[in-house]
Structure formats: C-alpha cells, structure tokens
Amino acid sequence: MDFSVAFNAARDALPYMLGGVVWTAGLIIGAMLLGLALGVPLSVLQVYGPKPVRRAVSLYVWLFRGIPILVQLYIFYFGILSWLSTLPGLTSLGLDSPFVAAVLVLGLTSSAYQSQIFRGAIQSLPPGQLKAARALGMTDAQAIRTIILPQALRLSIPAWSNEYSILLKDSALAFTIGVVEIMARMRAIASTTHEPVSMAFLAGIIFFVLTWVGVKALALLENKVRIAGYTRQGAA
C-alpha cells in the first residue's frame, strides 16, 4: 500500500466527505429531538399512566428496540412513507424523501431508548418528591412538569450522551436508502478512487470527531445544569 497515494486521495476527498457532515448532523439533530419529544412523554406515561397505557408504551418500546434499523428503514421508506406520499393532500409534503424516512426511523427508535433512560431517571428520584408536591396542592401534571422532569432530565444527560454516540453510528445506515451522508459519500468516492481503506479511515476520523464534539458538548451541558452538592443517588 502506497501511503502517500492513500493520504493524497483522502486529502482530496475531504471537502466532499465533509459535505456529508451536514446530512449526518441533520439526521442526528432531527432524530435526537424527535426522540426527546416522544421519549419524555412516553417515559411519563410508562411510570404514571394507567395499566393499559403502560402496556402500550412497553409494546412500542419492544417493537422499536426489537426490529433492526435497517429493516425499519426499508419498511418506512419503501413501504409506509411511499404509500402515504401517494395519498391526496400528502403528495406535496415530501414524505417519500430518504432523509425524512431516515430521521423518522432513527427518531422513533431513539424515542424508545430515550424513554427508558428517562424512565430510569424518574424512578431513581425519591418517591417523596411527588408526594410533597401533591401535598402542596399541585396537580400531578404540575408536579411532573415542575418537580419531577427537571430533576430526571438532569440525571439523564450522561446516558443521553451515550444515546447520541450510538445514534451517530446508526445514522450511517441511512446510506442504504440514498441519504448522501458520510457513509454514502465514502462508498461513492472509494469506488471512483479505488482507495476504500483510506476513505474508510477518513470516514472513521470524521465520525470520531463528531462523537467527541457531541459528547463533550453534552458534558458541558451537564456541568452547566448541575445543582450544587447534588449527585445521583448512589453516585460519589
């Protein structure tokens, strides 16, 4: 292997590969936010909801954790979204876009995982917190919004940064339905330059930097919202 040829190929490919970062970042941000928006209410319903609702949430979580993302991408992109986009009134929404399908699949899967992160955090809070809020005359909704979630979300940040790094790596599967993110660009350029290994190294470095930046950013957030003297129960 000629290292100078490989290095030059990687250097020349860098701008094109970095173009994929925009798509990857879009996938991650969209999926994390969708996962958060669905994961928080799902966790609340799973802890405080009536039994049938708790069961329904449990089924949802099992479903999205149990089916591989690749399979889901095919089901949503070639099946559900493709069919929905043909319905009157929905044709102009762009539901048949591979990017929309990928954000949806990654976001729904992430919501299942995130709901379990938040559920664990809620259940780790002392039960007296909800009791005290009720004793002050708060409704359950007020107590959950004002007392439970602000604490549970703070406690969730370390596990949430783990979810970010997993999601980032899962996003590479979006190339299979045509999203031109980092992985798709790596494959395309590798086939034209015949330098698959150097392109894989380059993609690996970009994924690593994205992971590092995201995890560090979440660590900063964790420090920013940390409460003086307060640690998760059982933590040092």
Partner 1 sequence: MPDLTAAASAETAPSDAILEARGLFKTLGGNRVLDSVDLSIGRGRVKVLIGPSGAGKSTLLQCLNFLMPPDSGHILLEGREVDKRSKKELCAFRQQVGMIFQDFNLFDHLSALENVRVALIKVKGLSKLEATERAVAELARVGLKDKATLYPANLSGGQKQRVAIARALAMDPKVMLLDEPTSALDPELIGEVLAVIRDLAQGGMTMIMATHQISFSASLADEFLFMDKGRVVEHGSPAELLGRGSSSRTQAFCAKISELTGEAGDGAAGECRL
* Residues making contact with partner 1 (CB under 8 A): 126, 128-129, 131-139, 142, 146-147, 150-151, 154, 227-230
Output 66 or 137, the one with its CB closest to partner 1.
Answer: 137
Output 32 or 144, the one with its CB closest to partner 1.
Answer: 144
Cβ 227 to partner 1, closest distance in Å?
5
Output 208 or 230, the one with its CB closest to partner 1.
Answer: 230
Output 90 or 221, the one with its CB closest to partner 1.
Answer: 221
Cβ 141 to partner 1, closest distance in Å?
10
Contact residues for 211 (Cβ-Cβ < 8 A; gap 6+): 164, 165, 168, 169
Cβ 150 to partner 1, closest distance in Å?
5
Output 135 or 209, the one with its CB closest to partner 1.
Answer: 135
Cβ 131 to partner 1, closest distance in Å?
5
Cβ 119 to partner 1, closest distance in Å?
18
